[in-house]
Amino acid sequence: MRIKHMALAGIIPLMLFSCVSSKKFKGLQSKYDSLNNAYGALQNDLKNCNSKTADLTRDKSDCDAKVADLQKQIAFLKENNTQALKQLEDMSVISSQQAQSIRQSLDNLGAKDAYIQSLQQAMAHKDSLNMALVNNLKGAIGDLNDKDINIKVDKGVIYVDISDKLLFATGKYNVTPRAQEVLGKVAKVLQAQPDIEFMVEGHTDNVPFRRGDLLDNWDLSVKRATAVVRILQNKYGMVPAHMSAAGRGEYLPVASNDTAEGRQLNRRTRIVILPQLDQFFKLLERK
């Protein structure tokens, strides 16, 4: 009997130790799974950024190749025109004043070459600013589903597409409380760029619509665009002179309206961040 008591006294600590270790293991396993999921999300973000960077690099390479080709053409023309001018002078076909005028024109070719290079630098700078703005918007918005919000750059213009199911109830133009929070995050990023201008566009599918004071899809898209603009102005202090609202109705789809998925993609509100062309105009004035 005494031996049995001693055996039980030895087994009980082992059982307790086993239970504690199992709980600790499960806790560590859960923490590992959480960290692994976060790592996977960061890897996906990095992949998207690398893809955007690759696209910009290809665009820059194309521009560099075009500029190099233009520089070769300018050099060729200058060389041939100089030779032709000398021949004309020797043959007394043109006057010295005319020759000087032609020389001045040839010198202007060099100035145009420098101008092309300055434009290329301005374009590269603009692309860098756009990329930084896109990254800031994605970082501010966070983990929203890609089907609900999409941010992209196309030909120097930034587009922020927000699905109607996130912004509005079906057939309505009152912005939902959750969507107001998303608009607040977008406004915070845009306010850091005080000179930026943008347009809010409302888009619908092609299903005929008429309800209450809404006459059709045109009317619905316009009211949704102005509803978003009012939120940005009245709640988040965006400068109204830097915003505009437009209704596109069903006439600028991004997918086919023949399927339910396509119609869902077409029902969206788009924020179009416009390129700051005044910077290029100022550059032209200096030239």
Residue 23 belongs to some domain of the structure: no
pLDDT reading at 239 higher than 90? yes
pLDDT tens for 1-51 read: 555 555 555 555 545 445 556 777 777 777 777 777 877 777 777 777 777
Is pLDDT larger for residue 160 or for residue 93? 160
Return d(Cα 208, Cα 234) in angstroms, integer.
Answer: 32
Residue 204 belongs to some domain of the structure: yes
Instruction: Supply the angle between the helices 278-286 and 96-141 in degrees, to the nearest 10.
Output: 160
Regarding whether 154 and 123 lie in a shared domain, the answer is no
- Provide the pLDDT for residue 165: 87
C-alpha count within 13 angstroms, C-beta hemisphere, residue 61: 6
What does the chain come to in residues?
287
Residue 273 belongs to some domain of the structure: yes
Domain count, the chain: 2
Average pLDDT for 135-143: 75
- Provide the pLDDT for residue 283: 47
Return d(Cα 149, Cα 170) in angstroms, integer.
Answer: 17
For residue 159, the cross-strand partners are 152, 272
Return d(Cα 128, Cα 16) in angstroms, integer.
Answer: 60
Residue 53 belongs to some domain of the structure: no
Residue 120 belongs to some domain of the structure: yes
Is pLDDT larger for residue 140 or for residue 242? 242
Cβ burial, residue 162 (10 Å; 0-12/13-18/19+): buried
Most confident of 40-54, 135-149, 247-261: 247-261
Regarding whether 177 and 68 lie in a shared domain, the answer is no
Regarding whether 103 and 181 lie in a shared domain, the answer is no
- Provide the pLDDT for residue 125: 56
Q: Where are the alpha helices (DSSP H) in 142-176?
A: 164-167
Regarding whether 267 and 148 lie in a shared domain, the answer is yes
**Lowest pLDDT segment from 51-65, 84-98, 168-182, 234-248:** 84-98
Return d(Cα 255, Cα 120) in angstroms, integer.
Answer: 34
Residues 6+ apart with CB under 8 A from 43: none
3-class DSSP assignment, residue 125: helix
Per-residue confidence band for 267, with pLDDT thresholds at 50, 70 and 90: very high
Return d(Cα 165, Cα 205) in angstroms, integer.
Answer: 13
Q: Which of 69, 100, 127 is the last residue of a domain?
A: 127
pLDDT reading at 99 higher than 90? no
Residue 115 belongs to some domain of the structure: yes
pLDDT reading at 128 higher than 50? yes
Residue 44 belongs to some domain of the structure: no
CATH number at residue 227: 3.30.1330.60
- Provide the pLDDT for residue 231: 96
3-class DSSP assignment, residue 169: coil
Which of 60, 57, 79 lies closest to 68, judged by CA?
60
Is pLDDT larger for residue 36 or for residue 98? 36
Regarding whether 169 and 252 lie in a shared domain, the answer is yes
Return d(Cα 142, Cα 243) in angstroms, integer.
Answer: 24
Regarding whether 155 and 87 lie in a shared domain, the answer is no
Regarding whether 267 and 152 lie in a shared domain, the answer is yes
Regarding whether 272 and 164 lie in a shared domain, the answer is yes
Domain that includes residue 92, residue range:
58-127
Q: Which of 99, 127, 155 is the last residue of a domain?
A: 127
Residues 6+ apart with CB under 8 A from 78: 106, 109, 110
Residue 170 belongs to some domain of the structure: yes
Residues 6+ apart with CB under 8 A from 237: 187, 191
Edge-to-edge strand ranges of the sheet holding 157-163:
149-154, 157-163, 268-273, 198-203, 243-249
Regarding whether 64 and 167 lie in a shared domain, the answer is no
Q: Mean pLDDT over all residues of the chain? A: 77
